[in-house]
Structure 1
């Protein structure tokens, strides 16, 4: 008689689930309003810096001034000294994503001017103050074909209520008579430039940073975790929820997990900045991955050419004999051996590996503080505050 090997899948607790295809996430990340506010602080600081680097084009034009006649002006070397965003708020908006509202922003510029009128030629410098700037930005959140997050500007509007320009020079008082026309031109240019800068900043800075979120994480030489997005983030009135695949897999041979995740609904906690929900599916795939990688295989050798069909339940392994070409044998004895193996060898070995921990899906330079762990039906909940560590 030949030697038969019975490979016992290490995810013994997971095989009780139905063998169906599902799109439920195995892992859920929730960012609360507190977490969005924290991220918003750093984002606004980045946007302020970006807006302060705005370059404005030279301007020229002709105007008629009462009792003076035609005046030709040229404005050049426009320098933006500062751009401040003192009041702003970020909010999750259902079916939209995120919305950033900025109010009472202000900026200061200076530059050089030249004027020609009648037989007069003059030049000097000017100061320009932009006040009561209102900016509204809508951010669309999604994911690409690789499961990585995407962020883009779906809408941007800028409204400037007040622009004041003050010319200095020999005839500065005269040039200030036509400041309204110059101010109107500045207003239109700045409103357009601000939204262009916002879109560029979101694309180059925010999107690039979001891409540092790992969608796969290596655990050891045999296994990894798949944290790819299963759907775009969902904005609610109080938080931003993202469903991730949350699945361990073998690095050597990735195969389809023969069970599916159950629906996962996080409790309405909002005390921490971020929450992670790891479902039973997430942990159960760890056993399957280690089995697939060949790390946990149990061999039974006997003198029977039989076929045994195992059915693994939540707490115990149940065996039944489907067919045998050599007669009957003691199924209960084999079942007892397998249960002893699962409880005394398999699970302790798997738990020992899980005790070493696993990496969470965090973007670059993010650290967790004030963490807690709670156990719920079919999932583990981890809550934490976050700290961003800027580059040295």
Structure 2
């Protein structure tokens, strides 16, 4: 739990007819102050739950996690999948042609893989010592062998090295480009089955090179297909999100990602606007200094401007206003006139019997935000008006100006959501 410190200042204005034109300053007990402040905060409780910042540092630990996930995904994608047919020729014992078709991957091992960021804007992905076991159908036309059957193929010492460049597209979304790809297949051993397999397998050693050459020619195009698939996913990256009907959050890239030998930095817009309002792009973002270590997968720096635009956008969209009724809090004593017997004596005089209440809470100006390296302070300014719920009408009871200071020394991030728990101290 993250502790917040609240400082509440209240000015009470009675609304009874008997005191028209007269304002009396009343002392409100601490419990009632807490109740009113919490009601005001209830209308703003969603405004700190967004996950958009302006500087995001993706560390090697995160890159390794994504790489491991990607390797497992690749294995699942290739397992039991059909590979392209292979054709080739041999001149051993005379010229002959062969066809390997219906090739199905039975086993795939990826013991060594890495993904390393490289300045200024690259990621190098490598796979070494990979092995593949596959099976399929063979057919050969040769003066010694003119037959078909089943085969088992073992590939070993398979290696791929690809250099990717990171950039942004015309829609300010992240994207990647395959700059270079190199691959090799160290060994290819095929075992033919059939009644005369001893004869067929005389050719297996001579098919090693054409099979390796054929497969190697298909590896980098396959990598390119995977990159194209990744870019199609990145094309769905939302540059504007609508968390509700009141505001839009803009978090498109301000410039292309920057890569060092240890991490990748992303610079996002991280600004809120009332729904439908356009946003201007800063020409040169100011990066937020982040820790230069690999202790965590991600570091995210939130600028003060993000919280300012978020708070101001909700205020301009008239979202910081709420009507609280007994239906919202059926057991709340502070929504009944008898809960104020010892606080507002005038209420007891006008309503000797308990009467349900309704409260309207609204912000009177945009909340102010202050950030320091170790804390966040949010100051909210509001107005509360309480009414008695009569059978046919609403009767005003009292009004109250509220000012609340929320302070925290710790913000929690879970699944890219910025969250905190509030504690009212006074």
TM-score bracket, normalised by the shorter chain, equals 0.5 to 0.7
Query: What residue in structure 2 maps to residue 49 of structure 1?
Result: 76
Kept in 2, the 8 Å contact 1:116–1:122? The answer is yes
1:198-209 matches, within 5 Å, as: 198-204=223-229, 206-209=230-233
- What do the CA deviations read for 1:12-52 (whole angstroms, capped 9, x no partner)? xxxxxxxxxxxxx9711111111111111111122223444
Q: Closer, same or farther in 2 for the Cα pair 1:292/1:54, shift >3 Å?
A: same
Query: What residue in structure 1 maps to residue 193 of structure 2?
Result: 168
1:54-93 matches, within 5 Å, as: 54-65=82-93, 69-93=94-118
Query: What residue in structure 1 maps to residue 380 of structure 2?
Result: 348
Query: What residue in structure 2 maps to residue 210 of structure 1?
Result: 234
Kept in 2, the 8 Å contact 1:54–1:193? The answer is no
Moved >6 Å (runs of 4+) = 257-261, 340-344, 350-355
Match of 2:259 among 222, 235, 245: 235
Please give the root-mean-square deviation of Cα atoms over the aligned residues, in Å.
Answer: 3.9
Aligned partner of residue 348 in structure 1, secondary structure = strand
1:222 equivalenced with 2:231 (yes/no):
no
CA distance in 1, matches of 2:405, 2:278: 19
Match of 1:246 among 262, 266, 270: 270
> Shift in Å at residue 60 of structure 1?
4.8
Q: Closer, same or farther in 2 for the Cα pair 1:122/1:272, shift >3 Å?
A: same
CA distance in 2, matches of 1:36, 1:258: 28
1:367 equivalenced with 2:391 (yes/no):
no
1:330-345 matches, within 5 Å, as: none
TM-score, normalised to structure 1, is 0.63
Number of residue-to-residue matches in the alignment: 293
1:141 equivalenced with 2:166 (yes/no):
yes
Aligned partner of residue 231 in structure 1, secondary structure = coil
Query: What residue in structure 2 maps to residue 275 of structure 1?
Result: 299
Query: What runs of 5+ residues in structure 1 fail to find an aligned partner?
Result: 1-24, 297-339, 374-392
Query: What residue in structure 1 maps to residue 59 of structure 2?
Result: 32
> Shift in Å at residue 150 of structure 1?
1.3
CA distance in 2, matches of 1:155, 1:261: 30
CA distance in 1, matches of 2:283, 2:406: 20
Select the structure of larger CA radius of gyration: 2
Query: What residue in structure 1 maps to residue 211 of structure 2?
Result: 186
Query: What runs of 5+ residues in structure 2 fail to find an aligned partner?
Result: 1-51, 321-363, 369-377, 383-402, 421-426
